[in-house]
A and B are shown apart, each in its own frame.
Chain A
Amino acid sequence: MHKLGRGHRDKIQQFITITGASEKVALQALKASDWHLEGALDVFYSQPQIRSFTDTRHLEELYNRYKDPYSDMILADGITLLCNDLQVDPQDIVMLVVSWHMKAATMCEFSKQEFIGGLQAVGIDSLEKFRERITFMRSELKDEHKFREIYNFAFGWAKEKGQKSLALDTAIGMWQLLFAEKHWPLVDHWCQFLQARHNKAISRDTWSQLLEFARTIDPALSNYDAEGAWPYLIDEFVEYLYENGIIQKDDYSQKQ
């Protein structure tokens, strides 16, 4: 590394910032593209994630640090400790992204496979690397495509094991968290509506369709189509908005 000129080092730095890959990977990619940054980025993105060599032993050590004394899993205490080490609030949405990367089955616990396997897949084998990666992970939420995956993942992750639907309170909490990232003006009304009128668990279909609704329908409901095969709960929500005067029906001024 020390043999590299200043310019090269900068490029490596930029590469890492953009892609979140490790130094080694950055070096490989830039070398392969003759130190053209754009070329290197192309190469990097067109290939499947380069599985960089991660130190499994080190990961095992990390796992053991956090694992619960009585069972072979990382539970709430371990997670709190992890968050402390990462200098991240346990309530921070980035933990959701982490869980997504790990393909965690349920919130507030990681199995050994999930923890080690997940970190390996993203090329993290130490706390420093993990810390570095946190910012990048946070930025992943801005990507439309990834956000949708994370959002849909959240349903399965947040619900109780063995349940088909997501408890209302949990759902509301998740929505508020998620839509703080991706701003949806109607999220508060939605939550109020649910508490006032629905009071039951949320089905998967409703969960995923809500994102579509938030993405495609404008907040003044000008392009909402009653024949649009939206789940009935969303139809009722629209009714609720009209009834309570929150949205005016056929408000032409808003359509402009």
Chain B
Amino acid sequence: MSAPKKKTIQIEAFRHRVVADPKYAEKTWNILEHAIHEIYNHNASGLSFEELYRNAYNMVLHKFGEKLYSGLVATMTFHLKEICSSIEAAQGGLFLEELNRKWADHNKALQMIRDILMYMDRTFIPSAHKTPVHELGLNLWRDVVIHSSKIQTRLLDTLLELIQGERSGEVINRGLMRNITKMLMDLGSSVYQDDFEKQFLESSADFYRLESQEFIESCDCGEYLKKAERRLNEEIERVSHYLDAKSEAKITNVVEKELIESHMQRLVHMENSGLVNMIVGDKYEDLGRMYSLFRRVASGLVLIRDVMTSYIRETGKQLVTDLERLKDPVDFVQRLLDIKDKYDKIIGSAFSNDKTFQNALNSSFEYFINLNSRSPEYISLFVDDKLRKGLKGVSEEDVEIILDKVMMLFRYLQEKDVFEKYYKQHLAKRLLSGKTVSDDAERSLIVKLKTECGYQFTSKLEGMFTDMKTSEDTMQGFYANVGADLGDGPTLSVQVLTTGSWPTQPINTCNLPTEILSICEKFRNYYLGTHTGRRLTWQTNMGTADLKATFGKGQKHELNVSTYQMCVLMLFNNTDRLTYREIEQAAEIPASDLKRCLQSLACVKGKNVLRKEPMSKDIADSDAFFFNDKFTSKFFKVKIGTVVAQRESEPENQETRQRVEEDRKPQIEAAIVRIMKARRVLDHNNIVTEVTKQLQSRFLPNPVVIKKRIESLIEREFLERDKGDRKLYRYLA
């Protein structure tokens, strides 16, 4: 049996009948060319997009892409040349408008053309590595129109002229400007830069250079800065309105350089209106403006800061060396605080709390406060004044504020140990005369000092407070126990001071009146009865007494006097007249103290409970004193005591200084030993550096003193010199 013959079906490719019409390309191109013309002639409405697209498509398909492309280039170029001439022909102000309009037209046309030729754009162009249609259109515009010799310069000049006009106050068409600059950006940022921006920046620089010269000759600093700020803001606004955003940084640089940087020095140092003048007059607005403008320039702030710093140092130095001012320590310190407040305010409101300025202020203060070696004493006197009366009636928060300010000054001191010495003295006087305004305030300050300097610094001070409290308790106990036996005698109040905590006092002789002696003895017995193994010494130079006095016409007064004065006055209970010699013999008070005491009793108006013959101010050995029957006073209570803390006289100051120096020696030695124990071997310079570092929270040691202490330690065989290198020291265990 035979299989049926299968008929194989073959599928063949459809053969498209291409009419190899040689004129085909030409015909198609003509259609397209015509369309382009129409588009440029604003006659696009009559065209069929679909047909044109198909024609372009076909050309590319039939491998006529090259012809299409070059035709496009030629046609477009032709049109652009026409456009160019029309723009060139525009007169004056219409130039830009014409350019703008034609540019808009071109873009519209370009879009349509690109749509029509999209197939070519997507296939032929990439494979033939040609410029895409849109880009081509822009490039042609650039080359033919913008870079045409007549238009290029004219465009630039026009733009610059307009900007310049606006700077002089004219109103210009910003929208138009924006379009033009946008056009340039669209053509490529290098076009924008080369054909506009570069020149813009240069001519702006020239303009501002001249203007700044004018301003600086005619304006004072404040006005100049206002003008500069205005110009700067203008330029920023200008950019936002019609220039490319990237130009902002560049044009502001130009303004900053020409208006600010070139004249910085002159502005700051301008007489009668420069930085110093602004500072003195607290001109916050001007200062703030200067700060924000100068901040934009390298080393602008450095300039302000340096000038401010040297001014602060100068005025500070003057203040601390002004002998007149220094006579009133409280006022002096108040002035320091005022200065600090002033600058804090300036830095806060005008210099936006810039840390570098704060630091400069701090270092200046540190510099000049320490120029005067008595600053520690004065600050302590200031505190003393506040704690004795200045803080009366002040609210708790305000007290804290003042104390914090004092601490701030304290931190600037290099010689904190000197401050400690004076503070102790003044505190002792305050406590013993009962003259402190607020116990809380006192304690608050001690806490602050402790936080700043550590426990060591304040342990003795706290000891003083403890003593006061303990003494109160002791007195209560005394009266409870012995009170019944005392009868009508004088009332006694004793403060028992622990020797180590209180400032050392010389022990002076003094004969207490008998009435006082007996009760003092009773107290001594009571105290030693309850505290064995202790020794009590009466500090007669530190006590006070209240005396009831009756004068000639029966006027009674209560006199508040020092212990010495009491001793002297009580002598007059037995007689009306005494010579100096007699008083000296009877009271056995040291001469200089006695003389001062008598002066305050006899030579001060309103307090002269004694009369002196002769009436001179000085006490001579032969002078005679009388009880002043005729004494009168408005007040019932009359205060004659002199135990108030005062600015030391020169010799006293020397003495305190010496004691401080003596105290420093063991501290330096302790530091040296500590360091050498740890390091074992160290060279001289390093020892000095380390010691200084260790002690800097208390005082600044003198390198010569350190050297002497090292030698003393060598003598005492704590250290030795290295046998090989004489600059090295070894620790001897």
Contacts and interface: CB of A to CB of B under 8 A. Distances in A.
A55 interface: no
A235 B704 CA distance: 10
A232 B684 contact: no
Main secondary structure of the interface of B (DSSP, over half): helix
A24 B435 CA distance: 95
A51 B20 CA distance: 136
18 contacts: A203-B711, A203-B714, A203-B715, A205-B714, A205-B715, A206-B711, A209-B721, A209-B726, A212-B726, A227-B685, A229-B684, A229-B707, A229-B726, A232-B704, A232-B707, A232-B711, A235-B704, A235-B707
A165 B721 CA distance: 17
A154 to B, nearest CB: 18
Residue in A203, A205, A206, A229 whose Cβ sees the most chain B Cβ within 10 Å: A229
Interface string B110-138: 00000000000000000000000000000
Interface string A138-180: 0000000000000000000000000011000000000000000
Interface in B669-726: 683-685, 704, 707-708, 711, 714-715, 721, 726
B683 A229 contact: yes
Nearest to A236: B704
A212 B684 CA distance: 17
A212 B726 CA distance: 9
Interface in B304-343: none
Nearest to A212: B726
A204 B727 CA distance: 16
B704 A204 contact: no
Contacts of A229: 683-685, 707, 726-727
A164 B715 CA distance: 8
Interface string A173-210: 00000000000000000000000000000011110010
Interface in A212-243: 212, 227-229, 231-232, 235
B65 to A, nearest CB: 88
A101 to B, nearest CB: 23
Nearest to A227: B685
Given A209-B726, A227-B684, A227-B685, A232 B715 contact: no
A157 to B, nearest CB: 18
A66 to B, nearest CB: 36
Contacts of A212: 726
Contacts of B715: 164-165, 203-205
Nearest to B683: A229
Contacts of A231: 707, 711
A235 B703 CA distance: 12
Interface size class of A (residues with CB under 8 A): 10 to 19
Interface of B: 683-685, 704, 707-708, 711, 714-715, 721, 726-727
**A-B pairs with lowest CB-CB distance, top 6:** A229-B684, A229-B727, A205-B714, A232-B707, A203-B715, A232-B708
A204 B685 CA distance: 22
A231 B715 CA distance: 12
A205 B708 contact: no
Contacts of A235: 704, 707
Interface of A: 164-165, 203-206, 209, 212, 227-229, 231-232, 235
Given A212-B726, A232-B704, A205 B711 contact: yes
Contacts of A204: 715
Nearest to B713: A205
A205 B711 CA distance: 7
A235 B706 CA distance: 14
Given A203-B714, A229-B684, A229-B727, 12 more contacts: A203-B711, A203-B715, A205-B711, A205-B714, A205-B721, A209-B721, A209-B726, A228-B727, A229-B685, A231-B707, A232-B708, A232-B711
B420 to A, nearest CB: 28
Contacts of A165: 715
Contacts of B707: 229, 231-232, 235
B716 to A, nearest CB: 9
B422 to A, nearest CB: 30
A108 B708 CA distance: 33
A214 to B, nearest CB: 13
A205 B707 CA distance: 12
Nearest to A203: B715
Nearest to A231: B711
A107 B270 CA distance: 79
Nearest to A233: B711
Contacts of B683: 229
Contacts of A164: 715
Nearest to A165: B715
A211 to B, nearest CB: 11
A215 to B, nearest CB: 11
A235 B683 CA distance: 17
A203 B715 CA distance: 7
Contacts of A206: 711
A228 B726 CA distance: 9
Contacts of B727: 228-229
Contacts of B721: 205, 209
A206 B710 CA distance: 12
A88 to B, nearest CB: 34
Contacts of B684: 227, 229
Nearest to B705: A232
Contacts of A209: 721, 726
Nearest to B729: A229
Contacts of A203: 711, 714-715
Contacts of B726: 209, 212, 229
A165 B727 CA distance: 22
A246 B726 CA distance: 27
Nearest to A164: B715
B492 to A, nearest CB: 51
A212 B724 CA distance: 12
A143 to B, nearest CB: 19
B649 to A, nearest CB: 30
Contacts of A227: 684-685
A83 B556 CA distance: 93
B512 to A, nearest CB: 45
Contacts of A228: 727
Contacts of B685: 227, 229
A212 B714 CA distance: 17
Contacts of B714: 203, 205
A185 to B, nearest CB: 22
Nearest to B707: A232
A62 B107 CA distance: 133
Nearest to A209: B726
A228 B708 CA distance: 14
Nearest to B706: A232
Contacts of A232: 704, 707-708, 711
A242 to B, nearest CB: 16
A206 B712 CA distance: 11
A116 to B, nearest CB: 32
A8 to B, nearest CB: 44
Residue in A206, A209, A232 whose Cβ sees the most chain B Cβ within 10 Å: A232
Contacts of A205: 711, 714-715, 721
A148 to B, nearest CB: 12
A227 B685 CA distance: 7
A34 to B, nearest CB: 40
A85 B726 CA distance: 43
A80 to B, nearest CB: 35
A229 B685 CA distance: 8
A190 to B, nearest CB: 17
A232 B707 CA distance: 7
B689 to A, nearest CB: 12
A230 B186 CA distance: 79
A146 B599 CA distance: 73
